[in-house]
Amino acid sequence: MKPQTVLGLMRTRVASLLSAALLLAAGIAAAHAPQAPTATPGSELTLGLDPDKSEVHWTLDTTLHTVHGTFKFKSGQLQFDPNSGKASGEIIVAATSGDSGNDGRDKKMHGEVLESSRFQDIVFKADRVEGKVAPSGNSKVLVHGVLTLHGADHEFGVPVQAELTGDRWTATTKFTIPFLKWGLKNPSSWLLKVKPDVNLEITMTGSVKSSSGN
């Protein structure tokens, strides 16, 4: 066999070995790459809330000005099936954390309106998600459940703009609560009249896990 032929065969074999090694390395890397917890048939997603990175802002309109305030989350975890929409779990806000930046006003809010020493938690328990939740990216859905405020239960639907990214989720929502209609005390005085609804703007974030273990 001519030297040129032997050299050509050697080059061909080396090239084949290199190609095989590269394919093997790519397969190993793909097998060990982190996988996002995507929704698959029969799987369930668990959304864990990070209270320190989530916020509740509220506003209450009055005849004199608009009152701004905040509440803090205590804890939260929701489970839902992206295919059926069935949901469970709860999100808890500390009623005692309500703060409008005015000591006298907050004392009245906690002592007479919320009675937060008796009813320390505001709890939302989910039962279903209406709308399609994308396995990644943005989704607009309605989360339905029961909101417990001041010791009374109210069926409630919350419009949510959500985003799933890898093992994290974020969500925002805006809605109003007819607190006077729901039986809370009217904080109005002869000088200052309040509107019957309080407006809430909420931002939430946390971790995502799937029932398949991803």
Round to whole Å and give the CA distance between 28 and 199.
52
**104, 156: one domain:** yes
Q: E strands of 131-194, at which residues?
A: 137-149, 152-165, 168-177
Q: Is residue 38 part of a domain?
A: no
Domain CATH number, residue 186: 2.40.128.110
Residues 18 and 98 in one domain: no
User: Is residue 92 domain-shared with residue 133, that is, in the same domain?
Assistant: yes
79 assigned to some structural domain: yes
**One domain for residues 26 and 50:** no
Structure tokens at 24: 């093997």
CB contact at 8 A, 204 and 174 = no
134 and 69 together in one domain:
yes
Give dist(CA 204, CA 123) in Å, integer. Answer: 15
Instruction: Quote the number of domains for the chain.
Output: 2
Q: Is 191 domain-assigned? A: yes
Q: Are residues 20 and 56 in the same domain?
A: no
Residues 21, 117: one domain?
no
Query: Can you give the pLDDT at residue 1?
Result: 53
Say what the pLDDT of residue 190 is: 81
Beta strands (DSSP E) in 21-151 are 45-49, 55-61, 66-80, 87-99, 121-130, 137-149
Domain span holding position 17: 1-33
Clarify whether residues 85 and 179 are in a common domain.
Answer: yes
Domain check: are 133 and 75 in the same one? yes
136 with 199, same domain? Answer: yes
CB 43 within 8 A of CB 212: yes
CA distance 52 to 33: 30
H helix runs in 71-187, sequence order = 103-108
Q: Which parts of the chain sit beneath pLDDT 50?
A: 2-10, 14-41, 213-214
- Look at residue 70 and tell me if it is in a domain: yes
| Dist. CA 138–CA 69, nearest whole Å | 28
120 lies in the same domain as 24: no
Cβ-contact 169, 205 below 8 angstroms:
yes
Q: Count CB neighbours of 78 within 10 A.
A: 24
